[in-house]
Structure 1
Amino acid sequence: MKQITLTLIILTITFSSFAQKEWQKKGVKFPPPICYGSEEVHQSFVDAPDQYLKRLKSTQQKKSSIIVDYIGFSAAPKAAFQYAVEIWEHLVASPVPIYLSARWTALDEGVLGSCGPYIFFENFDSAPYKDRYYPVALVEKLEGEEITDESVPDMIAQFNSDNDSWYFGTDGNTPRGEYDFVSVVLHEIGHGLGFTGFFYEQGGLGTYGHVLPYPGIFDEFVINGSGQQLIDTSEFANPSAALYEQMRSNNLYFKSQTVKSNNPSDSYPRLYAPSSFDEGSSIYHLNEFTYNVGDTNSLMTPFFDKAEAIHDPGPLMLAIFSDMGWDYTSIIHSPIPDTETATIIPIEATIEADSQIDSTSVAMVISADSFLTSDTIDLVYSADQDHFVANLIPQFAETYQYYLMVNDSSGKTFYLPGQAPTEYFEFTIGPDLVNPELTHDPVSSMLESDLNVEVAAEATDNIGILSVVMPYRINEGSPGTLILEDQGENLYKSTLSLTGLTDGDSIRYQIIATDSGSNNNRTILPVEDEYYTIYIDGLNAPVKTYTNDFNSDTRDFISSDFYIGIEDLFDDGALHSPHPYPSPDEDDTEYNFTALLKYPIIIDDRAMVSFNEVVLVEPAEKGAEFGDSDFWDYVIVEGSKTGNSNWQPLIDGYDSRANATWEMNYNNNQVGNNSAAQGKATYYINREFKMTENGNFAEGDTLFVRFRLFSDPYAHGWGWAIDDLRIQDPPTANGELTFSPGEVMIYPNPVTSKLYINGSFKSKVGQLKLAIFNSYGQQIRLDEINLASNQLHQTIDVENLKKGLYLLSFQFENGQIITKKFVKR
């Protein structure tokens, strides 16, 4: 027998992708159920469903692909596991592979295994229910694309390798003293696919993820025998004792429209809600006594006896999954735009369904008074157009609201938008007074050697865009106009090509979008009577060597983003990105901040670049590498043979994880999505690399060098500082900063009793002297340490020191000295 229990741990994490969206930054993790065994024996067998058993005799095909990463499995449990996987592949549909990480490992005595979704997301683009958390595998199915990257599992499972009572057969003939492994795997994958949620008990109160904004999608359907929804706060406050009483009332059900559609006389699936609430078993299982041994719906009951084999998830579980979204019908439709004339408006919709639909049920519900009254217009299938169509003849209302609907063959209804009629589309008939929406990333500079630049803007309008243009003026000369061409998907762009301009010239310009309405409404960027400015920058003659300590404001770099100056907590000048650097607050957008060196570099046999830097930018997910979808913000040094295009990495992009001090300070100073950590001179470390090491460039090439900070949506930090830049300067060919103050951390500071020291260096430390000096310069302590590695971990007892300021000196074997100040209180 097995029992599932759960210990509550909640972790909010962030995810993204190359086209990052806000909801991907707000995933939450929830611990998986744990599966226990017992000594009870009830021999029975429920065979696999027909969808699997008849797969070879019919056209039945797999509906999904579940890819398992087997860790530590031998042949027998792996084969049984794969048998369970293939059953699920014939039952749940997804166009996206479902990745499952399964580990065969020693677990606590009595534990059989566990499985759960890796992460949950809410308010993703195609979410049928808003403000509900969905398991990631279901999110990817509904979105139709990978969300967390193929390297990140959608489910995580583990099974006990120390259990000596497993039966690995697939025939259901489980011996009386053994647990049927196929059944356990089927059950656990069910949890991983979403048969779980957020209800739990805390301090005698019932809650559903009280520290989270929303409940899970499973929780949406949990009702009591009176039909009251447990997450309805007008009925049961969250948290509350009243909610806790419901959670252990033995009177809870899953409100399944699918069950009622198939047979209205059937009762809703009854959930397990014993009087003694059991985290992990209560609510997220079917009732043990309603669906007992041998019942076709008994797989997801909380107890699994020895010799009990259930190879079918059962119709009730599949109905529950259908209601959650695993069996889904999507309505694809482009919303009706506003119009100035009341003509015949064509309505079109395409239906994508996991099961057969009722083609006579496709309809548009339309209202002119926010659905106080409404009319229904049937859409009929057009074989020629391969979608459903209708003609709308509007009457005399100025504004209409509408939504679309369709039934599947079981009678379940699907809507677009998903929460209709609470959500709906809207369009207006009449004179257009709405200005276009216009966005543009300003062009800040052009090279005198290449006076061609692409100008782009995004423009949308409720009626439609007539034109997007760029009026400009060179210096104080005659005006010109560039027409931005429609590229589709609201993008307009063209190339501005000029001649005869030199370093110091400038171009003032605006972007103007005009709509196609009778009033020709327009939007101007930046605003009326203001302009963007493009500066013409000349390039210097190529050099083999370049150095800059940034203690004077040179014009050696082309940038409207970076600047040379002295910041607070820095001793001298440096090349700085914006502090803090901004991040876009819009899906699918990004910012790039660049500084281009005006001196092209002729690569010789040295090819070395060296600089000191501080990098406080958003760190990626643990284990993510440059180029991965969850590698967020980064800094990078790039090269180009033209200086205008085809930029290639000189080194891979990196973030605050490149240094322990940077990462610790970034993470320890987070405010919301952002970090308030401030850069300082003591955080400097040296970076040195060869321009030819990644194969993009070779000795003899002449290339331009630029520094770039990439910022994706919704999170940012302090930014980047660069100092003491040396390119192919003789010291960069030989010298190397082995030990850096940025690699030595002391904490806590101020300190009361124990001072902890951590260091991580580029080479072995060898002999190290740690000396403490008081404020008068007197040495009051000296420790000599012989370190055979590049790591330093030391604890110093300072409890007997008097209160005041002290200096801690690190004296390395190579003569280098680093000092740190600390305060004893």
Structure 2
Amino acid sequence: MKTKLLFFVIFQIYAGFLFAQKFEKTTDKNLLPNIILYESGRQENVYISAKSRAKSAKEAMSVFEVTYTGFSDEAKAAFQAAVDIWSQILSSPVPITIDARWEVMDQGILGGSSSPELFRNFKNAPFKDTWYKPTIANRLAGYDLSPEGYDMIIRYNSTANWYLGTDGNPGTKTDLLSVVLHEIGHGLGFSAGAWKDGTSGGIGYVDENGENQSFVAFDHFMFNGDGEQLIDTNIFKNPSTDLLAQFQSNDIYFDSPLANEANGGVIVELYAPTTWNQGSSISHLAESFNGTENALMTYSIGTGEALHDPGPITMGMFADLGWVSVRFDHKALKDIETWTTPRTVSAELYADTSLYDNSVKLHYSVDQFKTDDNIVLMTTTNDTLFNADIPVIANDTVWYYIEAKSKLDRFYFYPSQGTGNISTTFNDSSFYFISGVDNIKPTIMNENENKYIFDVVKLLEISASADDNIGIDSMYIEYKINENTAKYLNLKFDHEDITGTPIYSTELPLYDETLQNGDTLYYKIHAVDSSSNTNSAFIPANGYYKIPVHEIYAPVKDTVIDFDNANAEDIFVLDGFTVDQPTNFDSKALHSPHPYEEGQNYKENEINYVAILQIPIILDDDSTKITFDEIVIVEPGTAGTVFGDAEFWDYVIIEGSKDTGKTWKEFDIGYDCSISTAFTSAFNSTGNGEESMYLNHKIDLLQNGNFNAGDTILIRFRLWSDPAAVGWGWAVDNIQIQKDGIVPTTPGSLATTEITDTTISLIWNKSTDNDAVAGYLVYQNDILVDQVTDTTYKATDLSHATQYSYFVKATDATNNLSEKSNTVVATTTNITSVNIFSNHRSEMKVYPNPASNYINIEYRAEDNINVAYLSIYSLDGKLISSISKSVMDNSFIEQINIGELKSGYYFIRLTLENKVITERFIIK
């Protein structure tokens, strides 16, 4: 279980607020439970049809984008039918994204829903410092707060007995459409922040001292039967045994105006069984709603039960959570140096219900609304854009906010008053602007994450966000390579980010530079405001940002990396990794830190350790595998989660890039220590890695369609760490990329064809290979002696009357070896006195004879000869030495050093192309 700490990311501070409102996101696990729907075990035979509001709708009010994994076409159709119902009930200007997974789950579980992150203090947030599901947050903000992520992740049990039709007649099966409708409901906001830890119950985030607390939107509406709000820490300490008692009391309610109205004016009972039900308690309606039109969001569903409408109570709850609201779109007025004419406040209002006429008002004050509150009616000509003027005021600071009232008798304020907007009073939030001479410098934020560049880069994009209380006049970048003369280039306005902050960018023309490995790019960013003082600022405050230059080597089709080689470290860009040999390891390898760090100390509460191979790989059609040995002792995810889930904690992953590192895509999904029981045991025991733990891993580089044969790619190894628990880390060794793993067939029928006193000739049947056989390795007495390309071999210079054994192996172009052939054993023939003394003794001169240190051999041939072989044998026929020599002018003349030989009789044998000559000599 993760430590109960809150980790959030501040994305932007809006200028012009009385309080520093911040757009933040969190992945804190207490705020992101996986909510589960169970089988009830009952045959229900209930059908609640979709209300006419869905059937009569001509167009969807929202767009859902679903990514399916493992679904059949029939299951997709049922899923889409549920999506269509929600899309015609709830309105959102931002597409709602769902990661839908069809997978094996525990028996009795039908599905589970979770969100990868939550947001607070975004534009139009009803409650201040309150966490909202992405679906509601995006809707209220009017833009996607996390465009790269899913809004919800939903799993469905592939082993359940599903009814895949959409007609509401599941019979004795479980209606998939109903379950999809239910799980999407959790992703739309039906989710409490309640949790249990031992004997205590808690709500939302709470620090170790019980002082810092924050909640999800659902929590604000949770009360007990005595009317006590569960998040009121004056009543219930958070966490505490008292809170757990409340959770297990069968006496918890959702209390909000529209939900209560839908329930006949009575507060809505939630599911709070006397035994805590992880994943279900509090985040469902009470069982008393079973069999009614409000049954969809109860904690279980029976066979024969078709619930095709959320029900009025759920819709009332959603309305008060933020699905019925007024969205304001307004740019805060900036400061002004000279105020001579009225300032116009403009705002676009998008209301889900009608507004009362003349209810949109501008409030402004010169004393922060302590005693002064001026109210001006905002007028409109199109029912959307409203305007009002603030007259010239002899005061240096003016505060203002906007108010609207719907025909549901609900007040809405912008900025949010932090009370859920179910209020009639101003709280503590407003915009403000200052008039007078400006001395405030611009604020700049470097938006670049380049930790390195490659020497082949021609254009480098540099961007920065900048804002100013008056406005930005200009921005420029100062840059240089190494200690060369600095150059300057203007940054131009590019766009506004999702928070409305201006982004400026340019491309550095690095094609004008001669980048080399080891160079450094230095730069700083300047901004000048549009005030009369032309206030300026630059970042960093001291020195420069530094980007090292690394070399990209020539592309190859395959490579093998042995980290014991001296240059192994030079072919990787290492960010957090090292090439090292820790204790308990026999050789060097690629290592993350041991242990690696927690992510909370870094941007977005995460840290990435990266090792990029600087040798590009040309992907092949056939051998597109990467294999390596690894030890993976990184924190495992919660049981049952898969890569991409909110509770799939730390992971390692192998990725590729087709654009020299600008973007990266995975070859396969990320993984953790759970790939091996040995790795998991080491993590659980806080153990260290050691040499004996290496396991081999093979990945097909083309398997998921992100890359194609012919692509030239870079490859990187990445370890991702989130906040809290960590492990020993990751080690990688013996990397082979696109090395053909298919070995040639075994050479067959090895046999001898000719045997002499000094030679043995071999022959065998050829091998085959998926690519081509490059040759054959010949082993004599288990020792590799030669490599040939043909299927024959002649062993020479052997001793006579000696036994030898042989086998051969086939090899291909990538050095894959076949199994060894059959072994043959052969014995060279003996040398007799007849064949030693038989041929042409008188034609060769040997002198002096007897000899002591040197002996001379001369032979003159009548016929043309090119090569002669000279051998010396002992009297018993043992070969002492031999040489081969080219013959010039048909004459063979050689002097041989015999000083190392013992005294006695010896034979000299001269082998020519057409004859063999022998002679005896004596060493004295």
Could you tell me which of 597, 603, 608 is aligned with 2:614?
A: 597
Measured in 1, the distance between the counterparts of 2:702 and 2:82 equals 51
Could you tell me which of 120, 123, 132 is aligned with 2:119?
A: 123
- The reply to whether residue 486 of structure 1 matches residue 493 of structure 2 is yes
Residues 241 and 450 of structure 1: is their aligned pair in 2 closer, same or farther, counting only changes over 3 Å?
closer
Measured in 2, the distance between the counterparts of 1:346 and 1:533 equals 45
- The reply to whether residue 356 of structure 1 matches residue 372 of structure 2 is no
Measured in 1, the distance between the counterparts of 2:552 and 2:48 equals 79
Q: Do the aligned partners of 2:79 and 2:177 also contact (CA within 8 Å) in 1?
A: no
Task: Say which SS state the counterpart of residue 358 (structure 1) adopts.
Answer: coil
Moved more, 271-280 or 564-573: 271-280
Q: Which residue of 1 aligns with 2:473?
A: 466
Q: Which residue of 2 aligns with 1:323?
A: 320
Measured in 1, the distance between the counterparts of 2:162 and 2:624 equals 56
Q: Do the aligned partners of 2:444 and 2:527 also contact (CA within 8 Å) in 1?
A: no
Q: Output the amino acid matched with 2:327.
A: S
Q: Give a deviation string over 1:443-474, Cα, whole Å, max 9, x none.
A: 66666665543333343434333333232344
In structure 2, the gaps of 5 or more residues are: 12-22, 208-212, 419-426, 497-502, 745-818, 821-924
Q: Which residue of 2 aligns with 1:771?
A: none
Measured in 2, the distance between the counterparts of 1:563 and 1:73 equals 42
Could you tell me which of 554, 563, 587 is aligned with 1:549?
A: 563
Q: Do the aligned partners of 1:608 and 1:733 also contact (CA within 8 Å) in 2?
A: no
Residues 395 and 260 of structure 1: is their aligned pair in 2 closer, same or farther, counting only changes over 3 Å?
farther
TM (normalized to structure 2)?
Answer: 0.56
Q: Which residue of 2 aligns with 1:566?
A: 580
Instruction: Measure how far apart 1:319 and its partner are.
Output: 2.7
Q: Output the amino acid matched with 2:324.
A: D
Measured in 1, the distance between the counterparts of 2:247 and 2:185 equals 19
Q: Which residue of 1 aligns with 2:753?
A: none
Q: Which residue of 2 aligns with 1:392?
A: 390
Residues 89 and 535 of structure 1: is their aligned pair in 2 closer, same or farther, counting only changes over 3 Å?
closer
Could you tell me which of 394, 408, 411 is aligned with 1:410?
A: 408
Q: Output the amino acid matched with 2:53.
A: Q
Measured in 1, the distance between the counterparts of 2:77 and 2:567 equals 68
Measured in 1, the distance between the counterparts of 2:303 and 2:555 equals 82
Residues 556 and 404 of structure 1: is their aligned pair in 2 closer, same or farther, counting only changes over 3 Å?
same
After TM superposition, the structure 1 = structure 2 runs for residues 731-810 of structure 1, keeping only pairs within 5 Å, are none
Measured in 2, the distance between the counterparts of 1:61 and 1:656 equals 41
Q: Do the aligned partners of 2:162 and 2:176 also contact (CA within 8 Å) in 1?
A: no
Q: Output the amino acid matched with 1:96.
A: I
Residues 158 and 345 of structure 1: is their aligned pair in 2 closer, same or farther, counting only changes over 3 Å?
farther
- The reply to whether residue 454 of structure 1 matches residue 461 of structure 2 is yes
Moved more, 363-372 or 482-491: 363-372
Q: Do the aligned partners of 2:633 and 2:680 also contact (CA within 8 Å) in 1?
A: no
Q: Which residue of 1 aligns with 2:32?
A: 28
Measured in 2, the distance between the counterparts of 1:73 and 1:377 equals 59
- The reply to whether residue 528 of structure 1 matches residue 528 of structure 2 is no
Q: Percent identity between the aligned chains?
A: 23
After TM superposition, the structure 1 = structure 2 runs for residues 345-384 of structure 1, keeping only pairs within 5 Å, are 345-358=343-356, 360-373=358-371, 374-383=373-382
Q: Do the aligned partners of 2:174 and 2:305 also contact (CA within 8 Å) in 1?
A: yes
Q: Which residue of 1 aligns with 2:716?
A: 707
Instruction: Measure how far apart 1:321 and its partner are.
Output: 2.8
Measured in 1, the distance between the counterparts of 2:215 and 2:405 equals 27
Q: Do the aligned partners of 1:120 and 1:133 also contact (CA within 8 Å) in 2?
A: no
Task: Say which SS state the counterpart of residue 230 (structure 2) adopts.
Answer: coil
Q: Which residue of 2 aligns with 1:51?
A: 53
Task: Say which SS state the counterpart of residue 391 (structure 1) adopts.
Answer: strand
Q: Which residue of 2 aligns with 1:746?
A: none
Residues 515 and 12 of structure 1: is their aligned pair in 2 closer, same or farther, counting only changes over 3 Å?
same
Task: Say which SS state the counterpart of residue 462 (structure 2) adopts.
Answer: strand
Measured in 1, the distance between the counterparts of 2:197 and 2:657 equals 57
Q: Which residue of 2 aligns with 1:235?
A: 235
After TM superposition, the structure 1 = structure 2 runs for residues 194-209 of structure 1, keeping only pairs within 5 Å, are 197=192, 208=203
Measured in 2, the distance between the counterparts of 1:611 and 1:451 equals 33
Q: Do the aligned partners of 1:446 and 1:452 also contact (CA within 8 Å) in 2?
A: no
Q: Output the amino acid matched with 1:29.
A: P
Instruction: Measure how far apart 1:29 and its partner are.
Output: 1.9
Residues 46 and 655 of structure 1: is their aligned pair in 2 closer, same or farther, counting only changes over 3 Å?
closer
Instruction: Measure how far apart 1:322 and its partner are.
Output: 1.4
Q: Give a deviation string over 1:596-619, Cα, whole Å, max 9, x none.
A: 536888989978766545566787
Q: Do the aligned partners of 1:12 and 1:28 also contact (CA within 8 Å) in 2?
A: no
Q: Name which one, 1 or 2, has greater alpha-carbon Rg.
A: 2
Q: Do the aligned partners of 2:50 and 2:309 also contact (CA within 8 Å) in 1?
A: yes
Q: Which residue of 2 aligns with 1:436?
A: 443
Task: Say which SS state the counterpart of residue 489 (structure 2) adopts.
Answer: strand
Q: Give a deviation string over 1:700-724, Cα, whole Å, max 9, x none.
A: x9x5745353759868877665544
Q: Give a deviation string over 1:6-42, Cα, whole Å, max 9, x none.
A: xxx999999999x998424645225547676899x9x
Could you tell me which of 318, 331, 335 is aligned with 1:334?
A: 331
Could you tell me which of 668, 680, 683 is aligned with 1:664?
A: 680
- The reply to whether residue 636 of structure 1 matches residue 654 of structure 2 is yes
Measured in 2, the distance between the counterparts of 1:352 and 1:238 equals 37
- Higher RCO by CA contacts (8 Å cutoff, separation 6 or greater): 1
Instruction: Measure how far apart 1:407 and its partner are.
Output: 2.4
Q: Output the amino acid matched with 1:51.
A: R
Q: Give a deviation string over 1:623-646, Cα, whole Å, max 9, x none.
A: 757999989865436466xx8578
Task: Say which SS state the counterpart of residue 356 (structure 2) adopts.
Answer: strand
In structure 1, the gaps of 5 or more residues are: 1-8, 670-675, 736-813, 816-825
Instruction: Measure how far apart 1:330 and its partner are.
Output: 1.8
Measured in 2, the distance between the counterparts of 1:721 and 1:402 equals 58
Moved more, 373-382 or 612-621: 612-621
Residues 281 and 454 of structure 1: is their aligned pair in 2 closer, same or farther, counting only changes over 3 Å?
closer
After TM superposition, the structure 1 = structure 2 runs for residues 283-322 of structure 1, keeping only pairs within 5 Å, are 285=285, 315-322=312-319
- The reply to whether residue 513 of structure 1 matches residue 526 of structure 2 is yes
Measured in 1, the distance between the counterparts of 2:476 and 2:518 equals 22
Moved more, 235-244 or 620-629: 620-629
Instruction: Measure how far apart 1:551 and its partner are.
Output: 4.4
Residues 636 and 83 of structure 1: is their aligned pair in 2 closer, same or farther, counting only changes over 3 Å?
closer
Q: Output the amino acid matched with 2:505.
A: Y
Q: Output the amino acid matched with 2:374.
A: D
Q: Give a deviation string over 1:72-106, Cα, whole Å, max 9, x none.
A: 9999x999999999776654445537788899999
Measured in 1, the distance between the counterparts of 2:624 and 2:102 equals 47
Task: Say which SS state the counterpart of residue 53 (structure 2) adopts.
Answer: helix
Measured in 2, the distance between the counterparts of 1:719 and 1:414 equals 50
Q: Do the aligned partners of 1:564 and 1:573 also contact (CA within 8 Å) in 2?
A: no
Residues 539 and 226 of structure 1: is their aligned pair in 2 closer, same or farther, counting only changes over 3 Å?
closer
TM (normalized to structure 1)?
Answer: 0.61
Residues 423 and 630 of structure 1: is their aligned pair in 2 closer, same or farther, counting only changes over 3 Å?
farther
Measured in 1, the distance between the counterparts of 2:608 and 2:647 equals 16
Q: Give a deviation string over 1:658-701, Cα, whole Å, max 9, x none.
A: 942696379648xxxxxx987654554445678788795768x9
Q: Do the aligned partners of 1:403 and 1:416 also contact (CA within 8 Å) in 2?
A: yes
Q: Do the aligned partners of 2:653 and 2:719 also contact (CA within 8 Å) in 1?
A: yes
Residues 426 and 65 of structure 1: is their aligned pair in 2 closer, same or farther, counting only changes over 3 Å?
same
Residues 556 and 704 of structure 1: is their aligned pair in 2 closer, same or farther, counting only changes over 3 Å?
farther
Q: Do the aligned partners of 1:337 and 1:462 also contact (CA within 8 Å) in 2?
A: yes
Measured in 2, the distance between the counterparts of 1:186 and 1:692 equals 33
Residues 64 and 440 of structure 1: is their aligned pair in 2 closer, same or farther, counting only changes over 3 Å?
closer
Residues 617 and 513 of structure 1: is their aligned pair in 2 closer, same or farther, counting only changes over 3 Å?
farther
